[in-house]
Chains A and B, each alone.
Chain A
């Protein structure tokens, strides 16, 4: 029983990380109906920025964190301006390929700049554990869970309560109509990319003590975040987090209770099953066009 709870908690923590990356997918998808295949690599880059600020320049953890988030937000806007804006509105396949290319590029460049070793950031949560009875919970995992909850709530409120959020949803429904209604579509898309890069950075920094930072971490975790986003139904913010947690728990349980090898496949088997039974995901909207 104790093993089960222990696995559950570490699964939830891992799942929250997937959820955070999936949040990035969902943000961009909600606003532009594009899936950013470089999301994991943005996370990786955020981690490296934070490492540069905290580990190499010796700044305070929180200042370094904020600096990395700000730098990545700018970088997200830049990436949007250079790679996505010229082909905004073209078939999804083009944009998927462009972001795959961007991901490749970022991975290689990060490998060239920061090397291929595993890097580590000292965080205030690195040491110390919380003991409840004989249950041992590490602070770094708890911090991931807490941060995910906060970010998810903030983003949910942002999308549903603010004008900017409404503008984002409008431009995803019909870009031309939104443009006619006076929404500056290009600027909206730019802001979305900034936010999603910032969220990715949060994921990268929070993850640093758990998986370390290296240039391929984005690819590995990004691939795990897809099932999370699809399970939650691409386009639903709470869905992304719930999907992420589900994937994390499934992976963690499969690793503990099933034979070796299931751990890596289980999320994808679940994903294919869900796609077969409910292609729009667990929380996705099922919309029918009326003619």
Chain B
């Protein structure tokens, strides 16, 4: 176990508290860099989606996790970024320009959403952001001169500095990884700057933040704009990855998936956003696995435990029928959300912290360290 003695403020806000971080993150980054040579093309494609989802997750974390402004409308910001890219591409605008333009436009719209959100708290804000997302969805479907309506838009292959970057090439993966890493480093720096401190102060107590001289309105709008802009950047990559976008891709379902990303990862840490993104992207391969291989495996287990071939075959067909049920994905989503909220509100990262602490304190670990306190609500109406 390593003890960290912080002797001045600089120690407290270091990006890497001790040298061990360089080793572990260095190894992780090296693994990610050589991943294209190790993994199959299918897994690479999933890894690109992990990068995009994690970028959105970090963006949402800035807003929901650190500023305390819940948003169920981030699919709309992603859509605005994607559509800006697809539209500007038609006029042969180079990638860096429309990439930045998408971020800027989305950030601007984010700020515009932030202004009405100033007067809203809690549930009202959630409903306002849902309404915003539904309106954007409808606009995308109806504004045919720009968005091509429900028929959707083709997105041309990305070309960066004269080199074409196909959507399944390692270069495209490196681009997504770079955006994710830059976003994470940028966010870490943001969070230790006065702006980030103000965000956290607003989350913990708006009144206290205001009395410490934080301009609550300004920082809330800032938080919305930054979060939306990062989501816009992710939207450009999303459009290129899919190579075709249409309004029905950016539904409330997607917004909820983003919320699940940060909920499952843990709403207090950037690690959580990445873990949550891995989780949500890997559900599909897992379901495929469940459908294709699981029945055989279970039948095999049944056979080894003395069941006859006929019974084993019977079990196999039953498991296969269960795995190919229509709404299984939705049911798994639902159960996972409920279980995480009930039993692991700190998310996967919280679980990791607990495991780490267990080994650090080995014989002395107490389960009650993370025990939740009993809470009674007072009305928020009289705030």
Interface residues of A (CB under 8 A from B): 29, 32-33, 35, 83, 86-90, 92-98, 100-109, 111-112, 116, 172-176, 179, 215, 223, 226-227, 230, 234-235, 261, 264-265, 268-269, 271-272, 275-276, 279, 285, 287-289
Contacts and interface: CB of A to CB of B under 8 A. Distances in A.
Contacts of A172: 379
8 cross-chain pairs, A with B, having the tightest CB-CB distances, nearest first:
A101-B337, A105-B334, A108-B327, A104-B334, A108-B330, A176-B376, A108-B331, A89-B375
B134 interface: yes
Interface in B323-344: 325-331, 333-338, 341-342
27 contacts: A32-B377, A33-B380, A35-B126, A83-B338, A90-B375, A92-B380, A93-B64, A93-B70, A95-B341, A97-B259, A97-B337, A98-B338, A100-B256, A101-B333, A104-B334, A107-B330, A107-B334, A116-B326, A172-B379, A215-B327, A226-B127, A230-B127, A272-B116, A272-B128, A275-B119, A275-B120, A279-B119
A94 B375 contact: no
Interface size range of chain B in the complex? 35 or more
A223 B70 CA distance: 17
Interface string B109-126: 000000010011011101
Contacts of B380: 33, 92
Contacts of B336: 101
Contacts of B335: 101, 105
Contact of A86 (B122, B139, B256, B342): B342
Given A101-B335, A109-B327, A275 B376 contact: no
Contacts of A215: 327
B337 A179 contact: no
A30 to B, nearest CB: 10
B2 interface: no
Interface in B111-154: 116, 119-120, 122-124, 126-128, 130-132, 134-135, 138-139, 141-142
B124 A223 contact: no
Given A101-B335, A112-B331, A261 B141 contact: yes
A272 B131 contact: yes
B131 A268 contact: yes
A244 B320 CA distance: 45
Given A107-B327, A261-B142, A226 B130 contact: yes
B345 interface: yes
Given A108-B329, A226-B131, A269-B135, 5 more contacts: A97-B337, A104-B331, A105-B331, A172-B379, A174-B379
Contacts of B259: 97, 100
**Does more than half of chain B's interface fall in helix, strand or loop, or is it mixed?**
helix
A275 B329 CA distance: 35
Given A116-B326, A175-B376, A275-B124, A223 B252 contact: yes
Q: Which of A83, A97, A227 has the most CB of B within 10 A?
A: A97
Interface in B216-262: 252, 256, 259
B374 interface: yes
Contacts of A287: 381-382
B327 A265 contact: no
Contact of A108 (B134, B328, B342): B328
Given A106-B334, A176-B376, A223-B252, A265 B135 contact: yes
Contacts of A261: 138, 141-142
**Does more than half of chain A's interface fall in helix, strand or loop, or is it mixed?**
helix
B326 A112 contact: yes
B179 to A, nearest CB: 27
A226 B79 CA distance: 23
A223 B155 CA distance: 31
Contact of B377 (A33, A35, A83, A107): A33
Contact of B338 (A105, A173, A223): A105
A94 B127 contact: no
Contacts of A112: 325-328, 331
B90 interface: no
Contacts of B376: 89, 174-176, 179
Given A279-B120, A289-B383, A89 B135 contact: no
B345 A94 contact: yes
B144 to A, nearest CB: 11
A35 B379 contact: no
Q: Which of A179, A215, A230 has the most CB of B within 10 A?
A: A230
A108 B381 contact: no
A287 B380 CA distance: 10
Contacts of B256: 100
Contacts of B134: 223, 264-265, 268
Contacts of B379: 33, 172-174
A271 B131 contact: yes
A175 B328 contact: no
A175 B327 contact: no
B3 to A, nearest CB: 33
